[in-house]
Amino acid sequence: MRKGRFEVRDVQNIADILVDPEGALERRNHWEKTSHALLVGVILHVLYAEKEKTLARVAAFLSDPSRSFERTLRVMMSTNHLGTDEAPQVHPVVAQAARELLNKSENERSGVLSTAMSFLGLYRDPTVAETTSACEWRIADLVDAERPVSLYLVIPPSDISRTKPLVRLVLNQIGRRLTERLEGQAGKRRRHPLLMMLDEFPAFGRLDFFESALAFMAGYGVRSFLIAQSLNQISKAYGENNSILDNCHVRIAFASNDERTAKRISDSLGTATELRAMRNYAGHRLAPWLAHVMVSRQETARPLLTPGEVMQLPADEEIVMVSGQPPIRAKKLRYFEDANFTGRVCPPPALAADGPFADRPPSRADDWSGQVRAPHADLVKPWSELVSNGDEDDGGLKRHPALPEESPVKAEPEHAPDAGLLDDEFDPNDARRMEQLARNAAVVQRAHAMDQADDDLIPSF
């Protein structure tokens, strides 16, 4: 990643591959979009502020057990990325990414974090973390080095599925960097053409940029050699209406075990004109000779190779289809049997005991080494200013006033009936006392209705 005006673009390209590790997304949902924005901000923060500038450090920064996620966002917003001690300045993209997450509710923030961490699980592997911690070559060395350079990405079959995101990331970076400027533009020089040979190409998943770049890669001096077992693999990764074969000007086919692939090859070979003769005999079947013999010839169309014939091709034959040329049925050229190539097969070069390959391009310092920044006191804000608690639109947990507690009902002391009063006599004090008891009973009934927790909250008495 370059520092300066290209840094945001390079980081966004990396985040595009991180949020689609399998290459199966045609469109992103809400969680993938928000996690993409979070990863862009965190990667930029790690590049500017952290000593270890790797994706493993990005995963460790987001899942630091010593602080909460909100505290991590606060560190991002208070780090002096671009300014000086006298005039501190936060990187605007980092600040916007952190502010966007702080504006969300706590539940949504946790969902975005868990989605982002699911894309970084591969880089927690110590082997992968160590392998990606340093790079001794640059993408430009593939075409601009003093001597031709070969890059081999060798993955054990048992780890192809697990390391697919890493291989996709490397291929995406190479394809984008080498197609930025055409030959002859300012600052663009190319010494060697580049051949990208990708065995089991569909196993890497869908590479949207690579599919579209096949049409113009040749103009940048990059040619692709793609190898697949069948068309079903390409259709599974890129869909039925893909443009992979449309942008391949040379196609080589061998004996296929798939009927659909064999039929596709047969259709692409076209048809040939075949002359057929038909002979008709006329006369009595017991006559010593036939009276009439008629022979007719007609031209009919026949597939150059039927699907069955494609599937029955000998093991030493192949079909070469060049754009604009008739198809060629050729013999396979095995490099270990041909005299022109056996002399070129050399033993692998031996490594020096105390150094790398002699013709390896010299290592160069990157733009980010040695840059470490810390939070600045002038940028640290109180937590109350970072997270609002009063607005209804902020979401999260809110405090609402509880229902008023009813005053307990005081039991009235029982009084013995006044012997001096008869049943037909009226006492005003008794009337007021009965009215008070009725009001207290109504309060008890309402409280019972609220606590009963029925569906309709209507008590039955």
- Judge whether 90 and 78 are in contact, CB under 8 Å: yes
Q: Is 402 helix (H, G, I), strand (E, B) or coil?
A: coil
Q: Quick one: pLDDT at residue 284? A: 67
- Predicted model pTM: 0.72
The pair of three-digit structure tokens given for residue 434, joined into one six-digit string: 């009965």
Does the structure show a pLDDT above 60 at 446? no
d(CA 221, CA 301): 41
Q: Quick one: pLDDT at residue 356? A: 65
More confident residue, 278 or 11: 11
Q: Is 157 helix (H, G, I), strand (E, B) or coil?
A: helix
Cα angle 43-48-50, degrees, rounded to a multiple of 5: 80
- Which DSSP helix (H) or strand (E) runs through 174? helix 164-177
The pair of three-digit structure tokens given for residue 27, joined into one six-digit string: 């469109």
d(CA 69, CA 394): 17
Q: Over the stretch 180-201, which tens digit does the pLDDT of each residue have?
A: 877 655 556 677 889 999 988 8
Q: Over the stretch 114-162, which tens digit does the pLDDT of each residue have?
A: 999 999 999 999 999 998 888 888 888 888 888 888 888 888 888 888 8
CB atoms within 10 A of CB 367: 11
Q: Name the residue with tokens 């075949």.
A: 274
Give me the chain's average pLDDT, please: 80
Closest residue by Cα to residue 99 from 65, 70, 68, 57: 70
d(CA 153, CA 150): 10
Does the structure show a pLDDT above 90 at 295? no
Among 156-160, 161-165, 279-283, 321-325, whose mean pLDDT is lowest?
279-283
Q: How far from 418 is each of 9, 151, 245, 413, 435, CA to CA, in Å?
A: 96, 112, 110, 14, 19
Closest residue by Cα to residue 88 from 299, 450, 448, 381: 381
Strands 317-322 and 271-282: unpaired
- Which DSSP helix (H) or strand (E) runs through 316? none
More confident residue, 289 or 339: 339
Confidence of residue 331 (pLDDT cuts 50, 70, 90): very high
d(CA 331, CA 458): 90
Q: Quick one: pLDDT at residue 278? A: 81
Q: Quick one: pLDDT at residue 62? A: 93
Does the structure show a pLDDT above 80 at 411? no
Q: What is the number of H-type helices and E-type strands within the chain? A: 16, 7
d(CA 7, CA 253): 42
Does the structure show a pLDDT above 50 at 379? yes
d(CA 20, CA 227): 23
Q: Over the stretch 80-126, which tens digit does the pLDDT of each residue have?
A: 998 888 888 999 999 999 999 999 999 999 999 999 999 999 999 99
Does the structure show a pLDDT above 70 at 353? no
